[in-house]
Amino acid sequence: MAQRMTHLAEHDILASLPNRGLLDDRLEQGIALAQRFSRKLAVLFIDLDHFKDINDSIGHLIGDQLLRAVALRITPCVRSSDTVSRQGSDEFIVLLSEISHAEDAALIADKIRLAVLEPYTIASHLLHLTASIGISVYPEDGADPESLIQCADTAMHYAKENGRNRSHFFTDEMNCHTAERQLIRGDLRDALDRGEFALEYQPKVNLVSGAITGVEALIRWRHPSRGVLPPLEFIQIAEDCGLIVQIGQWVLRAACLQAQTWRAIGIRFGTMAVNISAVEFSNVRFFENVCEILEYTGLEPRYLELELTETAVMRNFDATRNVLQSLSAMGIRIAVDDFGTGYSNLSYLKRFPINTLKLDKSFVHDVPGNADIATIVRSVIHMGQSLHLQVVAEGVENVEQLKFLRAYNCAEGQGYYFSKPLHPSACQALISVAERHWVWQSSSPAVRADK
Ligand code: C2E
Ligand code: MG
Ligand code: MG
C-alpha cells in the first residue's frame, strides 16, 4: 500500500509516467552527478503540435488514449536510466542523464520526433501528430532544474514558431526573440480594433492564354511603429495565442466583400483565394463562419477558393473530410497550398474533395536548372492531370521557369514574373487591362501567338 501511495504521488496517472515532482528530484541528482564527474546532461521539452484542436474535435477520451500512445512511443527512444515525465496536458519532459556531446541530445530528439510522427489508429480514428522539441544542456544553459527546464521550454517555443515538427537547442538570443514576440503579441490584440490589417491581391494566370484565373488575398499589417509587416512575422504568433480565428474572419470577410464589389462592377477576376490557417480550420465554428460571411457579402460560393496546407488537411482525417465535403457541396473550391512541403501520404488527394494543388515555390525556384527537382515538378503536374486537379505553380519569377512549366503543361502560375501582390485598386487595373491584352513580358512567343 505504501509503495502504491508513493507511486501515485510521484506519477502522472494518465500516462503512468513520472510527474514534475519526481522529475525535479531526478534532475537535482543528475546535476549533482554530472558536476562531480564533469559530464553533461540534457533536458528535452516536448510539446505536441495543435493537440488541443484534436482534443476539442474528437473528444477528451480519445485525446487521453492518444496521449498514452504518445508516451509509449517516447519511452523506448531513451535509455532506462533516463527519465520521461509528463508535464500535464500535452507536454513531456525528458531528462537524458548521461550524454557525451550535446549532439547526442539532438539525435535522440529526432528519434522521438519521428516516433511521434507515425500515424495513430485510436477507436477507428486515423490521427496524425507532430511534436516540437526544445533542448537545453547542462552546464551550458543552467545549473539547476528550474533554469534547464525554462531554457528547454523557450527553445521548444522557438521550434514551434519555426514551423513545428522540429527540435531546437536553446540559445541566448532566444530570450530577446521571446521578448520581441511578446511585444508583437500585445500589439496584435489591438490591431483588429484599430483597423491596421489590409489585404493585397496577387493574380493567378493561365499559362497558355495569359488570362487571369483568380486572385489570392494576402494579409499585411500596417503596424503603427514597425511599418508594414508581412504575414510570416505575425501569423504564427496569432495562431499561438488564438487571435488567428478573429483575424481569419476579418480576412475572409474583407476578401469576399472585395470580390463581390468587383463582380458588381463587372471586373472578372475568376476566383478569390483566401488562406486558412490550420488553427482556424479546426475551429468548430469554421464552416458556420464561412456560410455567414458568404451570406453577409452576397458572394456566390463558386467564386471562393480556400487554401489549406497539407498539415492542416491531414490533422484530423475524419473531421476534415466532413468540413471539406460540406464546403465543397456548397460549391466552394479547395486548394492545397505549399504542396510538396508537408505530408507524404498522398491518398488524401483522392479521399478529400480537392480542386487545386499549389506547387510550393521552393520547387519552382529550382527549375529548370536542378534535374531532380525538375523531375519532381513534372511528376506533380502529371499527377495533378491524372487526378483532375488544377495545378498552380507558385513563385514563378522568370521566363525560364515559365517555359519549363508550359512545356510540361502546367495549367496555371502565380509569382513576381506576372505580378507582385497589389493594392486592390492596382489589382483591379491589372485585371481590366489583362482582359484585353497579353500583359506579361513580350518574350513569350507561344503565349503571344495564342492571343
Ligand atoms: P502562400 O499562401 O503560399 O502565399 C504566397 C507567398 O509567396 C506570398 O507571401 C507571396 O507574396 C509570395 N510570393 C508570390 N510570388 C512570389 C515569387 O515569385 N517569389 C517569391 N519568393 N515569393 C512570392 P506573403 O504574402 O508574405 O505570405 C506568406 C504566407 O503567409 C502565405 O503563403 C500564407 O501561408 C500566409 N498568409 C498570407 N495571408 C494570410 C491570411 O490572410 N491568413 C492566413 N492564415 N495566412 C496568410
Ligand atoms: Mg496561399
Ligand atoms: Mg504557398
What secondary structure does DSSP assign to 390-411, as a single string? EEEE----SHHHHHHHHHTT--
**134 C-alpha to center of ligand 3: Å?**
27
Ligand 1 close to Cβ of residue 296 (< 6 A)? no
Type and span of the H or E element at 325: helix 317-330
Q: Whose atoms come closest to the Cα of 341: which ligand? A: 3
Q: What are phi and psi of 337, to 5 degrees?
A: -85, 155
Q: Which residues of the chain have pLDDT under 50?
A: 442-451
Q: How many domains does the chain have?
A: 2
Tell me: do 391 and 348 sit in the same domain. Answer: yes
Residue 151, SS3 per DSSP: helix
413 lines ligand 1 (CB under 6 A): no
Supply the pLDDT for residue 448.
36
Return the residue whose CA atom lies nearest to atom 4 of ligand 1. 218
Collect all residues with Cβ–Cβ distance below 8 Å to 179 and sequence separation of at least 6: none
Strand (E) or helix (H) holding 53:
helix 51-58
The CATH number for 431's domain is: 3.20.20.450
- pTM as predicted: 0.76
Full residue range of the structural domain in which residue 18 is found: 2-171
CA distance 140 to 133: 18
Determine contact, residues 10/21, Cβ cutoff 8 Å. yes
Decide: 342 in ligand 1 pocket, CB within 6 A: no
- Three-class DSSP category at 447: helix
Is the CB of 204 inside a 6 Å radius of any atom of ligand 1?
A: no
Find out whether the beta carbon of 98 lies less than 6 Å from any atom of ligand 1. Answer: no
**Minimal-distance CA residue to ligand 1 atom 12:** 395
Query: What is the pLDDT, as a whole number, of residue 450?
Result: 35
From the CB of 239, is ligand 1 less than 6 Å away? Answer: no
Co-location of 231 and 296 in the same domain: yes
Angle at 86 between CA 83 and CA 90, to 5 degrees: 140
Atom of ligand 1 nearest to the CA of 277: 44
Distance 241 CA to ligand 1 centre (A): 21
446 found inside a domain: no
Q: Is any atom of ligand 1 closer than 6 Å to the C-beta of 421?
A: yes
CA angle 410, 416, 420 (to 5 degrees): 125
Indicate which residue's Cα is closest to atom 37 of ligand 1. 218
pLDDT in tens, 34-65: 999 889 999 999 999 989 888 888 888 999 99
Beta strands of 191-289 (E only): which ranges? 197-206, 212-223, 227-229, 271-275
Asked whether residue 270 is domain-assigned, the answer is yes
Q: What's the pLDDT score for residue 447?
A: 40
- Give domain status of residue 300, yes or no: yes
Last residue of a domain, one of 150, 171, 192: 171
The predicted-structure confidence for 279-289, as pLDDT tens digits, reads as follows 899 888 999 99
